[in-house]
């Protein structure tokens, strides 16, 4: 049916410029577990219980490979094919992919290196009718409205009606986000969004999402509202809200407003309410160890002293449902250098004051130094150094005071159609003093000219 539809929808003759994009990203990671941080009771459990092998392994060396291939205007204008997938092989310790992949482990011996992987996207898409119609079939991510991005196998259809009205529907099978459901489980999912929007005015949309498990039991039923407006006098307003109709609770609300009274000054204020849960990722260091809802409000200031120098400041507070609260403020500066303002050096200093449930200080001081330098026309070197001094953080019975990370990268444009990127990340933290991640990235993209040819009878 799809190919019949395409044959009717496209013109009989077409000159298509095929865009072929290929991206390969390779990651080699190495981590050594630091027994000095482990409590003796935990070390004893590791020696006695083989079921704790995931927690007790001393050395990890996994190799990850990500591959993305996309061809646009493939044979006819508006036709796109995309494939993206990843694979992993563990060189030093066993890998259990059941929490992250659908592919089963290839080794029956749990202490031998394993392999895993998955297909992230694999779909056929068509855009036509003057860009009013969009159709996708296959595995894809859905970024539509207030509900969170969801990966599913199925169909997506959107049509832009006259009067700036936009209607979209989708449906298919989604892999459960709950790891305990099993990697081979699939949930039925369908939803859609109705919205209105103009680029120079604003947008308003209402979206809905319904998901059930293999037994027909309801997993989630959500309705969301999203809006954004460009108001006079350089005022921007953005807001979203997400309700769980089954539990009858507000899961998330966000509102932000920014004002630029003069071209050099920008003031932004925002408010967020989030109810963390299994289906809602936690997006901030404030909520890493919290299962309760929290309210967050903040104010950010940006001032461009010169075309090259920008200063910033922030002040925000967060209150959790369990009584924990915290205040954060900080100052920062960024200076652009070079003829094209491509090179940059920046400094950020932040202080978090927080109290845990025992009224103990649980905040930190943060210092960040970052920069980018272009020693050659086609080369860009960058580095990012972050250091945290913790107030009174306890991990496995030990007091942790210092945490930090160093990230350095080198990017080089080989040709106008080819880039290469290599980066090195090293960090020390409460779980592992010696952790090094090597990441090499190779990107290739090109345009292939297509001669005019007959695509229909």
Q: Do residues 11 and 82 share a domain?
A: yes
Q: Do residues 169 and 193 share a domain?
A: yes
Residue 60 CB partners (closer than 8 Å, separation 6+): 29, 30, 31, 90, 92, 93
> Residue 404 falls within a domain, yes or no?
no
Q: Do residues 185 and 112 share a domain?
A: no
Would you state the pLDDT for residue 358?
58
User: What does the pLDDT look like over 405-428, one tens digit per residue?
Assistant: 888 888 888 887 788 888 877 766
Please state the domain count of the chain. Answer: 2
Copy the structure tokens of residue 275: 């109810």
**What is the average pLDDT score of the chain?**
76
Q: Do residues 209 and 152 share a domain?
A: yes
Q: Which domain holds residue 57?
A: 1-17+44-128
User: What does the pLDDT look like over 89-121, one tens digit per residue?
Assistant: 877 654 443 333 333 334 444 444 567 888 999
Question: pTM for the complete prediction?
Answer: 0.74
Would you state the pLDDT for residue 145?
74
Q: Which residues of the chain have pLDDT under 50?
A: 1-15, 34-39, 52-55, 94-112, 179, 277-290, 431-435, 449-457
Would you state the pLDDT for residue 400?
72
Beta bridge partners of 334: 310, 346
Q: Do residues 5 and 65 share a domain?
A: yes
> What distance separates the 2 farthest-apart alpha carbons in the chain?
77
Would you state the pLDDT for residue 34?
44
Strand 325-337 with 218-231, pairing:
unpaired
Distance separating the N- and C-terminal Cα atoms of the chain: 18
């Amino acid at each position: 049916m799809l190919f019949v539809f395409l044959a009717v929808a496209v013109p009989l003759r077409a000159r298509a410029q095929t865009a072929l994009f290929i991206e390969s990203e390779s990651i080699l990671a190495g981590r050594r577990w630091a027994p000095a941080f482990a409590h003796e009771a935990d070390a004893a459990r590791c020696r006695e219980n083989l079921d704790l092998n995931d927690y007790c392994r001393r050395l990890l060396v996994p190799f990850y490979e990500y591959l993305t291939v996309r061809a646009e205007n493939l044979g006819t204008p508006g036709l796109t094919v995309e494939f993206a997938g990843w694979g992993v092989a563990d060189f030093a310790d066993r890998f259990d992919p059941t929490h992250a992949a659908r592919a089963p482990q290839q080794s029956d011996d749990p202490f031998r290196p394993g392999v895993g992987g998955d297909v992230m996207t694999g779909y056929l898409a068509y855009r036509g009718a003057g860009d009013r119609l969009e159709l996708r079939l296959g595995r894809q991510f859905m970024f539509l409205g207030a509900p969170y991005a969801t990966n599913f196998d199925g169909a997506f259809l959107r049509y832009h009606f006259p009067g700036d009205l936009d209607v979209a529907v989708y449906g298919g099978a989604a892999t459960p986000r709950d790891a305990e459901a099993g990697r081979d489980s699939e949930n039925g999912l369908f939803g859609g969004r109705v919205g209105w929007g103009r680029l120079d005015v604003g947008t308003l949309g209402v979206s809905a999402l319904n998901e059930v498990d293999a037994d027909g039991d309801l997993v989630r039923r959500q309705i969301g509202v999203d809006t954004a407006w460009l108001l006079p006098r350089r005022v921007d307003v953005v807001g979203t809200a997400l309700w769980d109709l089954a539990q009858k609770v507000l899961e998330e609300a966000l509102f932000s407003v920014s004002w630029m009274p003069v071209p050099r000054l920008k003031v932004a204020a925002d408010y967020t309410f989030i109810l963390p849960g299994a289906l809602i990722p936690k997006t901030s260091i404030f909520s890493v160890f919290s299962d309760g809802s929290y309210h967050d409000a903040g104010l950010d200031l940006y001032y461009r002293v010169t075309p090259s120098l920008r200063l910033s400041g922030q002040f925000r507070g967060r209150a959790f449902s369990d009584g924990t609260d915290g205040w954060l403020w900080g100052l920062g500066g960024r200076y652009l250098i070079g003829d094209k303002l491509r090179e940059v050096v920046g400094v950020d200093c932040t202080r978090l004051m927080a109290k845990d449930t025992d009224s103990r200080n649980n905040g930190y001081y943060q210092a960040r130094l970052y920069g980018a330098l272009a020693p050659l026309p086609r080369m860009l070197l960058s580095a990012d150094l972050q250091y945290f001094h913790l107030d009174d953080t306890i991990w496995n019975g030990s007091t942790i005071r210092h945490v930090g990370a160093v990230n350095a990268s080198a990017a080089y444009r080989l040709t106008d159609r080819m880039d290469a990127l290599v980066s090195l990340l090293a960090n020390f933290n409460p779980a592992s003093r010696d952790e090094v991640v090597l990441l090499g990235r190779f990107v290739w993209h090109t345009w292939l000219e297509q001669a005019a040819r007959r695509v229909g009878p």
